[in-house]
Structure 1
Amino acid sequence: MNTKHKNTAFIKQESKRLGFLSCGISKAGFLEQEAPRLENWLNNQMQGKMNYMENHFDKRL
Structure 2
Amino acid sequence: MNYDNRNYRKHSKRSNALIEKSLSDNGAGRSITLDSEENIICGNGVYKAAAKLKREKQK
TM-score scaled by length of structure 2: 0.31
| More strand as a share of residues | 2
Greater relative contact order (Cα 8 A, min sep 6): structure 1 or 2?
A: 2
| More helix as a share of residues | 1
Find the structure with the greater CA-based Rg.
Answer: 1
